[in-house]
Structure 1
Amino acid sequence: MVATNLTDLFVKQRPYFISRPSGWLMIFLLSVLVSGLPTTSSAHPMPNSVVLLNIHTDRIDAEVQIPLNELQAAFGHTVNDSSAGLVARLGPQLKAYLLQHIRPKSTDDRPWIVSVDGLAVHETRNPINGVYRELIAQVRLTPPVGEPVRRFVFHYDAVLHQVVTHKILVSVRQDWARGQVADEQTAQVGVIELDIVNNRILPLPISLESGSVWMGFQSMITLGMRHISDGTDHLLFLLVLLLPAPLLVSGGSGQRFDWGRFGGVRYSLKQLVSIVTAFTLGHSLTLLLGSLGWLRLPSQPVEILIAISILVSAIHAFRPLFPGREPWVAAGFGLVHGLAFASILANLQLDTVPMALSILGFNLGIELMQLVVIGLTIPWLILLSQTALYSAVRISGAVLAGVAALAWVIERVSGNANGVTELIEHVANGAPWLLLGLALLAVMTWGRLRASA
């Protein structure tokens, strides 16, 4: 790579450059040139390192990402030739190097406790820039007793102490007390780089705004609502299971079950409440167990089971599979959906009190969004279910949901997206218009029925 060659040239000739006035001009030109070169990672532009901070009440968990081609020039060992076995081969040396160059201090110059808890190598390939490798280090930063965790001076010069064109981008990735819990909210707090004028690597003063329990709780409610609003598969399962809820079941005693006439408003509401309540109890239980780490399943089988739950509910909407037992089925599949919800919270790795509040807030957000969607949909289904048109609406909805479920099963088993699932997401973006169309159809059809009665 051109950037690496230029950096290596500068590092080898560093004493010469810094001893001549013209050297500073060369440093500036090199910095401009390198910063304008193409990057080889979608995570952050080369040749920069990234430090992502997760703020807790008594510590900071940091993820440090260092390009291996830059690290090799400063570390003194060959690390960029292959990612295989690097941690096993040089793990202790890498940890010692990071501990030497990561030195946070309190504002009164007292050192924090630093530990490197894990190392890994991430490798990506693309046809333009080839192979890009970076070291991922999990680092724990603990302040002295009584010192605030939100205000400190970050002394960090890994790679930069040798490769002066290097930069370290420092960002907060997670700060529960400030309501920041998602990666897309990552906020940069500063850049550590060489002060060319004074030939010094200046530490980064960090002073984060104070947060509160209420801000963290509120953010989890919002996250739960957003997760459901974006979770097309979760909502589709519930809506398709509710699709035949206003209808009575005909048949039995040796005859094939089928969906019959409208059962009345009271019957419909009773069915709706029992199904929604059962689903809530099911997913709340596994949300709690999964978030606390007491019950875990790999994500792929969970996602496949969610797609299967939609397929089963679609078949049931077409023709009764388990008449009268819909709440039990909703509760059973709710257990599966709850495991998917739990993975969101488990990945946050919160402390005990924030986790407890997060479980409550996230679940509350899920329920609020479910109630909003159901409240905006079910009245029109109850109106339509009193008309002859509802049979066509129910069957069409069941068939479309079944197709979507099969497409999701194929995608989640194979790991490859397909055109059907992409179309589903596109259609889901137009959900307000679909709801408006359903409401107009229900009002017009029901009004015509009343007029002819």
Structure 2
Amino acid sequence: MPNSVVLLNVHANRIDAELQIPLVELQSAWGHAVNDSSAGLVERLGPQLRAYMKMHIHPQSPDGRFWTVSVGKLTVHESQNPINGVYRELTAQVQMMPPSGEDVRQFTFHYDVVLHQVRTHKILVSVRQDWESGQLVEAEPVQVGTISLDIVNDRILPLPINLASGSPWTGLTAMIKLGTQHIAEGTDHLLFLLVLLLPAPLLVVGKRWSRFGGVHYSLRHILLIVTAFTIGHSLTLLLGAMGWVRLPAQPVEILIAVSILVSAAHAVRPLFPGREAWIAAGFGLVHGLAFASTLANLQLDMGPMALSILGFNLGIELMQLLIIGLAIPWLMLLSRTPTYRIVRLTGAFLAAIAALAWVVERITGQPNFLTKGVEQVASYAPYGLGVLALMALLLSWRMKRANQLPVL
């Protein structure tokens, strides 16, 4: 039998709930042909549906006072199941506000939408987001209980909800973890930066990449690029998360792939020598918009959102610096050897292929075998880093040994 689902988003002073109700069950309970005639359902019966749900949703504080309930946006979803055929579901956004001074984390949930008539029905209640306890919408919802008929006593028992206490520190650390996870899984973000850094240790002579520029030159150049990228994506992360700047996801994702293509071309031949920091900052603005969509989806209040922006950005920077710190020393060591030209061109070529594959995927909306291959290869990145380190050490040792041999 299809069950209803209640997903709770816990805020400091309210709970936002999403109800997912199968229309076939709602039709049996409510008496209206909501499943047989689902087309234009919200337009036809929206006010009546909201009034019906309010009658059957009654959160209650421990002191006996009931919460204020308001039903917002209603949406009908339809899917095709090869076993059961067409499945239709109503999604309702509900806001539940406790009386003044009452804790949102402890209440009794009186809820019997559909169940008051369809006695075999079940309601699965889960917490989808609880920022103060570190539960984010990115993770799987945590089930807190089930509402169903008590067959022995023939009554519907309310669900007592007592959520563990949280803190802003827990929410902040969860966002730091989310930021590190986001950049670790963001192959395109890291690839842009790493490919842009490929020629960073090299000097430009006659519009071509030349020899190693020295440790001081290389570190200064790398620091400028990384700092510029950080400033760029931090700015748009802030603006996007606060809702002040919004762009559709598709053009942003396409521009991110284009940024990799540009950095790959620059790694082959200098397109903007000495101005890499400006390019990193400019494309960083685009990458920041992609980061911001993750925070915007959390729909947090102002205080938690401010801490989330800080924590998420800090997580991104920590993981970014870790990966760059692990890769750059070996690239600098290799850049002293003649073999680095092959490494640089190979890296640029592979990055360009990946970028073109992402552009096609993000324009068409269809994955291709190249992008799937990139994700599979990315999972072996730690082994690739080990190979890079061994190659750098071996070639440096061989070059040093050759330079020490006497000339016959």
Q: Same fold (TM over 0.5)?
A: yes
Q: Provide the C-alpha distance between the structure 2 equivalents of 1:78 and 1:390, rounded to a whole number of angstroms.
A: 71
1:446 aligned residue (388, 391, 396): 396
- 1:145 aligned residue: 100
Q: Which has the larger displacement, 202-211 or 124-133?
A: 124-133
- 1:382 aligned residue: 332
Structure 1 residue ranges without an equivalent (≥5): 1-33, 35-46, 252-256
Q: Does 1:422 align with 2:377?
A: no
User: Alpha-carbon deviations, 1:165-223, whole Å to 9, x = none?
Assistant: 11000000000000111342310000000000000000000000000111011111000
- 1:182 aligned residue: 137
Listed as ranges, the matches of 1:204-215 within 5 Å are 204-215=159-170
1:324/1:84 CA distance change after superposition, 3 Å: farther
Local SS of the residue matching 2:277 = helix
1:102 aligned residue (57, 61, 76): 57
Q: Does 1:88 align with 2:43?
A: yes
Q: Provide the C-alpha distance between the structure 1 equivalents of 2:5 and 2:138, rounded to a whole number of angstroms.
A: 14
Is the Cα contact below 8 Å between 1:150 and 1:210 reproduced in 2? Answer: yes
Q: Provide the C-alpha distance between the structure 2 equivalents of 1:329 and 1:127, rounded to a whole number of angstroms.
A: 50
Give the counterpart letter for 1:175 in structure 2.
D
Give the counterpart letter for 2:347 in structure 1.
G
2:284 aligned residue (327, 334, 354): 334
In the TM superposition, residue 107 of structure 1 has moved relative to its aligned partner by 1.3
- 2:214 aligned residue: 264
Listed as ranges, the matches of 1:233-312 within 5 Å are 233-251=188-206, 257-312=207-262
Q: Provide the C-alpha distance between the structure 2 equivalents of 1:333 and 1:290, rounded to a whole number of angstroms.
A: 15
TM-score computed with the length of structure 2 as normaliser:
0.97
- 2:351 aligned residue: 401
Local SS of the residue matching 2:144 = strand
2:7 aligned residue (44, 49, 52): 52
- 1:63 aligned residue: 18
- 1:43 aligned residue: none
Structure 2 residue ranges without an equivalent (≥5): 404-408
Local SS of the residue matching 1:184 = coil
Q: Does 1:223 align with 2:198?
A: no
1:82/1:236 CA distance change after superposition, 3 Å: farther
Local SS of the residue matching 2:7 = strand
Q: Does 1:353 align with 2:303?
A: yes
1:119 aligned residue (74, 96, 100): 74
Instruction: Tell me the number of residue pairs that the alignment of Structure 1 and Structure 2 aligns.
Output: 403
Q: Provide the C-alpha distance between the structure 2 equivalents of 1:97 and 1:371, rounded to a whole number of angstroms.
A: 54
Local SS of the residue matching 2:107 = strand
Listed as ranges, the matches of 1:32-43 within 5 Å are 34=1
In the TM superposition, residue 450 of structure 1 has moved relative to its aligned partner by 1.0
Is the Cα contact below 8 Å between 1:287 and 1:339 reproduced in 2? Answer: yes
Q: Which has the larger displacement, 116-125 or 53-62?
A: 116-125
Q: Which has the larger displacement, 124-133 or 203-212?
A: 124-133
TM-score computed with the length of structure 1 as normaliser:
0.88
Give the counterpart letter for 2:393 in structure 1.
V
Q: Provide the C-alpha distance between the structure 1 equivalents of 2:310 and 2:393, rounded to a whole number of angstroms.
A: 38
User: Alpha-carbon deviations, 1:60-89, whole Å to 9, x = none?
Assistant: 000010011111111111111354311111
1:75 aligned residue (27, 30, 33): 30
1:372 aligned residue (307, 317, 322): 322
In the TM superposition, residue 323 of structure 1 has moved relative to its aligned partner by 1.0
Is the Cα contact below 8 Å between 1:83 and 1:123 reproduced in 2? Answer: no
Local SS of the residue matching 2:139 = helix
1:325 aligned residue (259, 271, 275): 275
Is the Cα contact below 8 Å between 1:83 and 1:122 reproduced in 2? Answer: no
Is the Cα contact below 8 Å between 1:48 and 1:66 reproduced in 2? Answer: yes
Is the Cα contact below 8 Å between 1:404 and 1:421 reproduced in 2? Answer: yes
In the TM superposition, residue 121 of structure 1 has moved relative to its aligned partner by 1.0
- 1:191 aligned residue: 146
